[in-house]
């Protein structure tokens, strides 16, 4: 026996022949895919062609299905550095994404380029707590999306993080921000009481901990599809973060997230005949078992772009005598010391260097290191700056570093912190004097308050590189003082938790 169910989108009804079990809505989701088009070299997971196999299979098995992305589709591989998001947009369309929201990295090339990219998108683009009316993004977004599945109304609402301190100021100029904690419950109430939604699903790019805190304070959000923190929420793993949290009314609310790079596809199954039941949730690995089922669609899109990417990945300029993980101390020390030395080339008298560990995005494996690997290690379009800053403001920056579990500092710096507060900081063995003035080598993103370094905004710029940070490092190995040297550093902890 066959039943017919109907999904109504924007007033258009789609009749679908389905099985007896079509009373479910299946929502597939991704987040923070970060231009990871091919499988990861480190663990072999991921890959857009494989993801398409899963998406197509789930769609074929479920008449009522949606594909949702929670932001940061770009920034992380050479495909973005070279082609500025064009490849990713084409692939999102090939997979048939239904709903998308913005991540912070969507802004990395500024709003004009972002607006151009989004013109290519076939998805429903949602944005509500960013006011983009006076920007190139005006008219691009809707504040929510409602799907009617027979007599059930499912609403999707976007939630975005505060751009200040996370997105470079120049990349969101003219955009207003409404605090998501103020906005979310009111929007949820509106969707339920004015739009008569039976279920409200938040698509969020604020991070797992903020998601759970928000759910605890609200009563009108029934599920969260999250992103930003790269958290793998896996119900099959007893060590995973909880995937159900209590809301203000004591109801269990699903908070889902798939990690980074689409190693997994999230799948949420909602019983449309019993909305009071907990949604079923699982993560599906995107791995090599799917290779035999790929259909060539993805590679046909990527092929015209691949040659330039492969060329950069095979231009070897140095080597690493041992593996340097992106979250390891040795790589952080190496980059910090490089920024210090480059700062001295730019200005001469530099007291110390500071770099954010979040700016290191990929591992450096043991063996030959290519230009492409250097670019993807530090893919952002940042430049080294030397700034003049007061000791008092510099100490506040150390407090910020402490609150983030320590950051990268040059070899001549030592610091200790406790409970997220810096308790000791020295440069060349001398305590930092709050009344003195210091020269600091860092990147323009940090100097302008990025990563919440608000105390550094009040500075005087003394020098700035003509090149992006990754270009500076490539030039160092190809023709500078690093020519013929290896990529290595000690792994001594310079900011120590006590």
- Locate 451 and state its tokens: 């990563």
Question: What's the mean pLDDT when you consider all of the chain?
Answer: 94
DSSP states of 340-397 as a string? HHHHHHHTS---EEEE-GGG--S-B-SEEEEHHHHHHHS-S--EEEEEEEEHHHHHHH
Are 397 and 391 spatial neighbours (Cβ–Cβ below 8 Å)? no
- The pLDDT score that the predictor gives to residue 182 is 84
The mean per-residue pLDDT over the stretch 131-141 comes to: 97
DSSP states of 191-235 as a string? HHHTS--SEEEEEEES-HHHHHHHHHH-SS--EEE--SS--B--T
- The pLDDT score that the predictor gives to residue 244 is 96
The mean per-residue pLDDT over the stretch 46-65 comes to: 97
The mean per-residue pLDDT over the stretch 74-97 comes to: 97
Task: Please choose, from the candidates 223, 96, 66, the residue with its C-alpha nearest in 3D space to the C-alpha of residue 157.
Answer: 223
Bigger pLDDT: 5 or 191? 191
Share of residues in the chain with pLDDT > 90 (%)? 91
Asked whether the predicted pLDDT for residue 416 surpasses 80, the reply is yes
The mean per-residue pLDDT over the stretch 3-25 comes to: 46
Asked whether the predicted pLDDT for residue 242 surpasses 50, the reply is yes
Are 54 and 284 spatial neighbours (Cβ–Cβ below 8 Å)? yes
The predicted-structure confidence for 145-162, as pLDDT tens digits, reads as follows 999 987 899 999 999 999
The predicted-structure confidence for 397-408, as pLDDT tens digits, reads as follows 999 999 999 999
Asked whether the predicted pLDDT for residue 26 surpasses 60, the reply is yes
Distance CA 86, CA 423 (A): 47
Q: How confident is the model at residue 2 (pLDDT cuts 50, 70, 90)?
A: very low
The mean per-residue pLDDT over the stretch 189-203 comes to: 97
Distance CA 344, CA 338 (A): 10
Q: How confident is the model at residue 22 (pLDDT cuts 50, 70, 90)?
A: low
The mean per-residue pLDDT over the stretch 368-389 comes to: 96
Asked whether the predicted pLDDT for residue 12 surpasses 60, the reply is no
Task: Please choose, from the candidates 122, 129, 118, 127, the residue with its C-alpha nearest in 3D space to the C-alpha of residue 145.
Answer: 127
Name residue, tokens 């699982």.
282
Phi-psi region of 451 (alpha: psi -120 to 50; beta: other; left: phi over 0): left
- Locate 47 and state its tokens: 């890959």
The mean per-residue pLDDT over the stretch 371-384 comes to: 95
The predicted-structure confidence for 338-362, as pLDDT tens digits, reads as follows 999 999 999 999 999 999 999 999 8
Pairing mode of beta strands 252-256, 223-225? parallel
The mean per-residue pLDDT over the stretch 407-436 comes to: 97
Q: Which domains does the chain have, with CATH numbers?
A: 3-306 (3.60.21.10), 314-497 (3.90.780.10)
pTM over 0.75: yes
The predicted-structure confidence for 430-488, as pLDDT tens digits, reads as follows 999 999 999 999 999 999 999 999 999 999 999 999 999 999 999 999 999 999 999 99
Asked whether the predicted pLDDT for residue 1 surpasses 90, the reply is no
The mean per-residue pLDDT over the stretch 14-43 comes to: 79
Task: Please choose, from the candidates 221, 93, 97, the residue with its C-alpha nearest in 3D space to the C-alpha of residue 159.
Answer: 221
């Amino acid at each position: 026996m066959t039943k017919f169910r109907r999904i109504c989108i924007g007033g258009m009804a789609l009749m679908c022949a389905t099985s007896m079990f079509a009373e479910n809505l299946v929502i597939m989701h991704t987040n923070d895919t970060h231009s990871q088009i091919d499988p990861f070299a480190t663990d072999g997971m991921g890959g857009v062609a494989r993801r398409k196999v899963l998406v197509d299979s789930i769609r074929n098995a479920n008449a009522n299905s949606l594909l949702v992305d929670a932001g940061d589709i770009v920034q992380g591989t050479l495909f973005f550095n070279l082609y500025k998001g064009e490849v990713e947009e084409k692939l999102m369309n090939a997979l048939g994404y239904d709903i998308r929201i913005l991540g912070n990295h969507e802004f990395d090339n500024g709003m004009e380029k972002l607006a151009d990219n989004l013109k290519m998108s076939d998805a429903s683009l949602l944005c509500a707590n960013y006011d983009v009316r006076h920007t190139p993004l005006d008219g691009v977004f809707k504040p929510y999306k409602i799907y009617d599945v027979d007599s059930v109304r499912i609403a999707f609402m976007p939630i975005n993080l505060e751009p200040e301190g996370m997105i470079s100021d120049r990349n969101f100029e003219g955009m207003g921000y409404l605090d998501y904690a103020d906005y979310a419950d009111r929007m949820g109430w509106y969707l339920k009481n004015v739009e008569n939604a039976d279920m409200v699903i938040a698509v969020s790019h604020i991070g797992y901990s903020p998601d759970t805190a928000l759910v605890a304070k609200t009563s009108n959000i029934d599920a969260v599809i999250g992103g930003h923190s790269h958290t793998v929420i896996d119900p099959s793993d007893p060590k995973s973060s909880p995937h159900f949290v209590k809301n203000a009314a004591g109801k269990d609310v699903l908070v889902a997230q798939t990690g980074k790079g689409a190693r997994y596809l999230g799948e949420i199954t909602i019983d449309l005949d019993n909305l009071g039941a907990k949604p079923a949730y699982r993560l599906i690995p995107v791995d090599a078992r799917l290779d035999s089922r790929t259909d060539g669609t993805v590679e046909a899109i990527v092929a015209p772009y691949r040659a330039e990417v492969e060329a950069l990945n095979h231009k070897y300029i140095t080597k690493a005598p041992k593996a340097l993980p992106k979250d390891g101390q040795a790589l952080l020390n190496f980059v910090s010391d490089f920024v210090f030395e480059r700062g001295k080339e730019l200005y001469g008298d530099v007291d110390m260097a500071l770099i954010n560990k979040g700016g290191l995005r990929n591992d450096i494996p043991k063996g030959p290191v290519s230009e492409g690997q250097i670019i993807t290690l530090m893919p952002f379009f940042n430049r080294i700056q030397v700034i003049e800053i007061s000791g008092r403001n510099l100490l506040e920056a150390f407090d910020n570093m402490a609150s983030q579990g320590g950051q990268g500092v040059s070899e001549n710096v030592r610091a200790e912190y406790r409970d997220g507060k810096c308790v000791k900081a020295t440069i060349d063995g001398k305590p930092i004097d709050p009344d003195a003035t210091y020269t600091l080598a860092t990147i323009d993103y940090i100097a302008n308050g990025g990563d919440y370094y608000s105390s550094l905004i009040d500075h005087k710029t003394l020098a700035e590189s003509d090149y992006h940070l990754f270009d500076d490092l490539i030039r160092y190995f190809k023709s500078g003082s690093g020519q013929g040297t290896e990529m290595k550093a000690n792994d001594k902890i310079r900011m120590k938790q006590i």
